[in-house]
């Protein structure tokens, strides 16, 4: 029975079925299936989509759909992991968010989902995140990486503000900073002192791996 549930959970993500993914995640909890095993199954599915995107076999809507499906199931499984005290080996801890003044979420959510699938512990602060909130998130979670998104040219300077705030708080040297979003370029990332930039969600995962030396 557990195999059937996990297969359906995987299938829901591969077919971009948000309601189905959440439903099968709840079923996995009800059946007392190891939540780490359920998370591993979801990871296989989202990696399959990410690999297809990277090879040019799938497109952005595929990545968005799969990420949305996984995002709907993830809180259910993560809550069960916490409840039973299960452990999943972490590659590193990431604090991620869209900067203050910017409410775009799709790109940030895709990166967060793929990072989670790749073994990172991800703390998503959401959208419209102030510099102070980023600093607090880094300190509270002892983050290895800060990932910031900005889609608009008017909000891109907020990434510089966050980095400057980290310097003032004496935290800049404690965390690697990666930036992305429609308004960001490699030149801009270099100019504000970020440690890395990538224009795609799968590329951001590879960048995160490099930044933590994994």
Which tokens in the block code for residue 28?
């996995």
CATH C-level class of 93-211: alpha beta
2-84 has which CATH code?
A: 1.10.1240.10
| Tens of pLDDT, residue by residue, the chain (214 residues) | 678 999 999 999 999 999 999 999 999 999 999 999 999 999 999 989 988 988 899 998 999 999 999 999 999 998 999 899 877 788 999 999 999 999 999 899 999 999 998 999 999 999 999 999 999 999 999 999 999 999 999 999 999 999 999 999 999 999 999 999 999 999 999 999 999 999 998 899 999 999 999 7
Per-domain residue ranges for the chain?
Answer: 2-84, 93-211
85: region left, alpha or beta (phi > 0 left; psi from -120 to 50 alpha)? left
Which secondary-structure segment (H or E) carries 197? strand 196-197
Q: Are 13 and 44 in contact, with CB atoms under 8 Å apart?
A: no
- Which own/partner pairs from 81-85 qualify as long-range (CB within 8 Å, at least 24 positions apart)? 81/35, 81/36, 81/39, 84/35
Q: 3-state secondary structure string, 135-160?
A: HHHHHHHCCCEEEEECCCCCCCHHHH
């Amino acid at each position: 029975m557990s195999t059937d549930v996990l297969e359906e959970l995987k299938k829901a993500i591969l077919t971009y079925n948000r309601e189905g993914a959440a439903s099968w995640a709840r079923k996995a909890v009800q059946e007392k299936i190891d939540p780490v095993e359920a998370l591993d199954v979801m990871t296989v599915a989202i990696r399959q989509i990410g690999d297809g995107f990277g090879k040019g076999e799938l497109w952005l809507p595929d990545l968005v759909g799969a990420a949305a499906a996984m995002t709907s199931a993830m809180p259910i499984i993560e809550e069960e992991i916490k409840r039973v005290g299960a452990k999943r080996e972490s590659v590193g801890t990431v604090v991620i968010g869209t900067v203050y003044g910017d409410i775009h979420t799709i790109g940030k959510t895709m990166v967060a989902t793929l990072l989670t699938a790749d073994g990172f512990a991800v703390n998503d602060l959401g959208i419209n995140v102030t510099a102070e909130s980023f600093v607090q998130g880094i300190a509270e979670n002892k983050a290895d990486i800060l990932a910031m998104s900005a889609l608009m040219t008017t909000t891109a300077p907020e990434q510089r503000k966050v980095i400057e705030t980290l310097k003032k708080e004496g935290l800049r040297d404690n965390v690697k900073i990666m930036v992305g979003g429609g308004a960001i370029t490699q030149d801009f990332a270099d100019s504000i002192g970020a440690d890395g930039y990538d224009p795609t969600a799968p590329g951001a995962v590879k960048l995160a791996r490099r930044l933590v030396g994994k």
